[in-house]
Amino acid sequence: MSPLKIIAMIPARIGSTRLKMKNLALIDDKPMIAHAIEAAKASNVFDRIILNSDNIIFEKIALEYGCEFYQRNESLGSSETKSDDVVLDFIQNFRGDIVVWVNPIAPLQPSEEIKQVTEYFIQNNFNSLITVKNELVHCIYSQQPVNFSLDGKFAQTQELVPVQSFVYSLMMWTIVTFKKAMAKNGFAIMHGKIGYFPVSKWSSFIVKTEEDLFLADYIAREKKRFKKVKYHKLVSNIN
């Protein structure tokens, strides 16, 4: 464990516009948020793991899965609430050096990756970090190529410079600089020295809709069964 005091904050809002009470929806027979709690615990990088919610019902989830519970004000639970304000409220109530937002909507996120990203944050002395995913795909913006050229043969995807999109499976900040940025600018999610960490497909699978939930449940169950790649019998005839 780092000599720094690192706190995992797992946010859980009771309301949801696209998928009702999604944090309590079951994935592999466990509420979605339980997967985040278990992954955070298994990473062995946190001094404290705290479920942060606007509804007291999540206290029972915290007790069941062995983490702490903090009930924030209901005013910080609406769909209009900004993440900056949720984090500020949290760090004003808990002392530490680093706070890590472990997002429950990434239920397939491996504990090893949580540890890896947190260590990367510390080693590089970042003030803020957001996880991203690398996409090897031809992209355009405003009708113009982003990562490929129109002059020449069509590039193979493996030749492309990957574009990166935000995943939000993990976000983290140094608490001191977060407070200073909020006091000075009124926002702090991305402040100071900013890091971006490309995560695996597991972590980049985000649950926002009912369809996402069904897929996550299927993947979580099949992931335990799948051991290695299987091939057609004809492969054995290939030297």
Q: Is 26 exposed, middle or buried (0-12, 13-18, 19+ CB in 10 A)?
A: exposed
Helices (H) and strands (E) counted in the chain, each on its own, are 7, 11
Q: How far apart are CA 9 and CA 93, in angstroms?
A: 12
CA 169 to each of CA 100, 130, 194: distance values in angstroms, whole numbers, following the listed order: 10, 8, 16
For residue 33, name the pLDDT band (cuts at 50, 70, 90): very high
Q: Answer yes or no: is pLDDT of 65 > 90.
A: yes
For residue 2, name the pLDDT band (cuts at 50, 70, 90): low
Q: Answer yes or no: is pLDDT of 1 > 60.
A: no
Length of the chain: 239
Structure tokens at 177: 């600089």
End-to-end CA distance of the chain: 48
Q: Which CATH superfamily is domain 6-131+165-237 in?
A: Spore Coat Polysaccharide Biosynthesis Protein SpsA; Chain A (3.90.550.10)
Look at residue 229 in the predicted model and tell me its pLDDT: 87
For residue 239, name the pLDDT band (cuts at 50, 70, 90): low
Q: Per residue in 34-50, pLDDT tens?
A: 999 999 999 999 999 99
Return mean pLDDT, the chain: 94
Q: Answer yes or no: is pLDDT of 103 > 90.
A: yes
| Over residues 17-38, mean pLDDT | 92
Q: Per residue in 179-233, pLDDT tens?
A: 999 999 999 999 999 999 999 999 999 999 999 999 999 999 998 888 888 889 8
| Over residues 55-63, mean pLDDT | 95
| Over residues 121-144, mean pLDDT | 96
Domain segments of the chain: what residues? 6-131+165-237
Look at residue 20 in the predicted model and tell me its pLDDT: 83
Q: Is the pTM of this model over 0.85?
A: yes
Q: 145: helix, coil or strand?
A: strand
Alpha helices in 102-188 (DSSP H): 111-123, 175-185
Residue 25 half-sphere exposure, CB side, CA atoms within 13 Å? Answer: 23
